[in-house]
Structure 1
Amino acid sequence: MPSNATSTSTHAPTTPADLFRHGLRLLLEKDIDAWLGLWAEDGVMEFPFAPEGWPRRLEGRAAVAAYMRDYPDHIDLHDFPDVTIHQTTDPGTIVVEMRAVGRLVQTDSPYDMTYVAVVTVRDDRITAYRDYWNPLAVQDPAADFVGSAR
């Protein structure tokens, strides 16, 4: 087996923080398929502050995939310059404070958004991701995708 390959039967468990950081790298690489591979088949993504007309809950990896598939066509992420991960009393759940910067592809305007996410990982897969982002921070009306895919 190549040194960079991973066997599902022999790999070491990944901490939720490590899995999350790996997911950020995949988003920067625009590897949405690999990012989706971090999700449990029945994983749930929620957006409690989503405005009217935008999804508030996605149930299952297929729904998350449909939501995220075209993400790189809308937001060109350049960096996550500020990421703080807090462990909770549940070893499988973390709270993440982060900032994402890049540009909105359609308008070439800057993208700079802060997030707080509550992420639960079981068996090395994301089972729940609650994304608390501020839709009011997006001033560009062409940026509707920002709230429909993060």
Structure 2
Amino acid sequence: MELLIPTDGEVAALDELSTVLPAHGFPGVTRAAQTLGTKIPTQTTKPAEFGRVMTVGGAGRDLVTDSPLLVLEGYAVKEQRARDMCALMLAAVERAARVGTLGTAVIYAARVVGLPANLPHPQVPDRFRFTATVSVDLRRTTA
């Protein structure tokens, strides 16, 4: 009997966003530039703009599908840019659900749990942060 392994939602979303963000007005926000990831950049002087994706729980939907909750965060020196980045991240995940792939992962649906909201981060006081939360239905992989 084969093993059904939960898909890494963070990696799938980061793969997708690393191509979408630069193509839609955020050229410096990519995994390669280390301005898009699962952690806040560690350098003392933070990039002017950066994004973060985190899985914050979720549940199994059925035998082959999981519904992880993804938090999408956009950080920027300018408030509107942080909001726009977060909204674009959310739109990219929703489009991926319509297309059927999030990065290289199979995605069946995306349900917005929280629209972009202004939520300052106490450890990054010199950047605006907007967050959105989305539940995605991802097909498991096999070993």
**TM-score interval w.r.t. the shorter chain?**
0.3 to 0.5
Q: TM-score, normalised by structure 1?
A: 0.34
Higher relative contact order (CA 8 A, sep 6+): 2
Q: TM-score, normalised by structure 2?
A: 0.35
